[in-house]
Structure 1
Amino acid sequence: MHTIPTYSLKQLIIYFLKLGTWGFGGPVALVGYMHRDLVETKKWISEEDYKEGMALSQLAPGPLAAQLCIYIGYVHYRITGATVAGIAFVLPSFFMVLLIGWAYVSFGGLPWMQAIFYGVGAAVIGIIALSSYKLTTKSIGKDYWLWAIFLVLACFTFITEEENIWLILAAGVLIWFVKSPPSRNKKSVHLFSMPVLLQIPATVSSSGKLWQIAWFFTKAGAFVFGSGIAIVPFLYGGVVKEYQWLNEQQFVDAVAVAMITPGPVVITVGFIGYLVGGIWGACIAALATFIPCYVFTVLPAPYFKKYGKHPAIKAFVDGVTAAAIGAIAGAVLVLAKRNLVDVPTALIAITTIGILYTFKKIPEPLIILAASLTGIALKLLVLPS
Structure 2
Amino acid sequence: MTQSDPATLKQATPPTAVSFGQALLFWLKLGFISFGGPAGQIAIMHQELVENRRWISERRFLHALNYCMVLPGPEAQQLATYIGWLMHKTRGGIAAGALFVLPSLLILIALSWIYIAYGDLSLVAGLFYGIKPAVTAIVVQAAHRIGSRALKNSYLWGIAAAAFMAIFALDIPFPVIVVLAAITGYAGGRLVPEKFKTGGGHGNANTSYGPALIDDDTPTPAHARFAWGRLLWVLITGLVLWAIPMGLLTTYYGWSHTLTQMGWFFTKAALMTFGGAYAVLPYVYQGAVSGYGWLTPTQMIDGLALGETTPGPLIMVVAFVGFVGGYVKAVFGPDSLFLAGAVAAALVTWFTFLPSFLFILAGGPLVESTHGDINFTAPLTAITAAVVGVILNLALFFAYHVIWPQGFAGQMDWMSALIAITAAIALLRFKRNVIHVIAACAVLGLVIKTLV
Q: Please tell me the TM-score bracket, short chain as reference.
A: 0.7 to 0.9
Q: 1:102: which partner in 2?
A: 113
**CA drift at 1:20:** 3.9
**CA drift at 1:159:** 4.9
Q: Does 1:176 align with 2:246?
A: no
AA at the equivalent of 2:110: L
Would the alpha carbon gap of residues 121 and 50 (structure 1) be closer, same or farther in structure 2, given more than 3 Å must change?
A: farther
AA at the equivalent of 2:342: I
Q: 1:214: which partner in 2?
A: 263
Would the alpha carbon gap of residues 52 and 45 (structure 1) be closer, same or farther in structure 2, given more than 3 Å must change?
A: same
Q: 2:275: which partner in 1?
A: 226
Q: Does 1:294 align with 2:357?
A: yes
Match of 1:321 among 373, 384, 389: 384
Distance in 2 between residues matched to 1:154 and 1:242, nearest whole Å:
24
Would the alpha carbon gap of residues 234 and 134 (structure 1) be closer, same or farther in structure 2, given more than 3 Å must change?
A: closer
**CA drift at 1:122:** 4.1
Would the alpha carbon gap of residues 173 and 223 (structure 1) be closer, same or farther in structure 2, given more than 3 Å must change?
A: closer
Q: 1:27: which partner in 2?
A: 38
Q: 1:70: which partner in 2?
A: 81
**CA drift at 1:287:** 0.7
Q: 1:193: which partner in 2?
A: none
Report if the CA contact (8 A) 2:72-2:274 is conserved.
yes
Unaligned runs of 5+ in 2: 1-13, 192-245, 327-339, 404-415
Match of 2:439 among 340, 360, 369: 369
AA at the equivalent of 1:346: I
**CA drift at 1:94:** 0.8
Deviations 1:347-376 (A, max 9, x none): 12202333327xxxxx54344333322332
AA at the equivalent of 2:431: L
AA at the equivalent of 2:276: S
Deviations 1:32-54 (A, max 9, x none): 55456545666544444444444
**CA drift at 1:244:** 3.6
Larger radius of gyration between Structure 1 and Structure 2: 2
Deviations 1:172-230 (A, max 9, x none): 3333333336xxxxxxxxxxxxxxxxxxxxx9972544333322222222222223344
AA at the equivalent of 1:178: G
TM-score scaled by length of structure 2: 0.65
Would the alpha carbon gap of residues 83 and 329 (structure 1) be closer, same or farther in structure 2, given more than 3 Å must change?
A: farther
Deviations 1:235-287 (A, max 9, x none): 34444444444455544543443344332222222223233133222211211
Q: 1:360: which partner in 2?
A: none
Q: 1:85: which partner in 2?
A: 96
Distance in 1 between residues matched to 2:448 and 2:366, nearest whole Å:
52
**CA drift at 1:125:** 4.9
AA at the equivalent of 1:285: V
Report if the CA contact (8 A) 1:63-1:221 is conserved.
no
Q: 1:191: which partner in 2?
A: none
Q: Does 1:351 align with 2:421?
A: no
Matches within 5 A, 1:157-306: 157=167, 159=169, 164-180=174-190, 206-247=255-296, 250-275=299-324, 276=326, 277-306=340-369
Report if the CA contact (8 A) 1:163-1:225 is conserved.
no
Same amino acid, percent of matched pairs: 29
Report if the CA contact (8 A) 1:158-1:334 is conserved.
no
Distance in 1 between residues matched to 2:19 and 2:139, nearest whole Å:
30
Would the alpha carbon gap of residues 239 and 125 (structure 1) be closer, same or farther in structure 2, given more than 3 Å must change?
A: closer
Aligned residues: CA RMSD: 3.8
AA at the equivalent of 1:284: L
Report if the CA contact (8 A) 1:163-1:230 is conserved.
no
Larger displacement relative to structure 2 (209-218 or 238-247): 238-247
Report if the CA contact (8 A) 1:149-1:322 is conserved.
yes
